[in-house]
Amino acid sequence: MTIPAELLDCRGQRCPLPVIAVARRLPELPVGTVVRVLADDPAAAVDIPAWCRMRGQEFVGRITGPDGPGYDVRRSV
């Protein structure tokens, strides 16, 4: 299980805002850092993995927890 080093709470935000949040935060973190994006907009399930593919970042996976759906992204470059 991956333990995120950073948490971005984007619940209540419509896409593309969660993607924009991770795109702004990731470059400030060291390569290898995992960020968990909490996002309850159903579009995030498609948009976040697609953004990772386009930007060369690793989509670690989707999580479901008491805080709602989340998406783990590892900074690769």
**pTM value?**
0.93
Q: How far is CA 45 from CA 28, 29, 30, 77, in A?
A: 23, 23, 25, 22
Question: Which of the residues 15, 19, 26, 44 is marked catalytic?
Answer: 15
Dist CA 11 CA 58 (whole Å): 22
Is residue 52 annotated as part of the catalytic site, yes or no? no
Render pLDDT for 35-74 as a digit per residue (tens, 0 to 9): 999 999 999 999 999 999 999 999 999 999 888 899 999 9
Instruction: Tell me the two tokens of residue 77.
Output: 């470059």
> What tokens were used for 28?
């400030």
Question: Does residue 9 contact residue 38 with C-beta atoms inside 8 Å?
Answer: yes
Q: Looking at residues 19-41, what average pLDDT do you find? A: 97
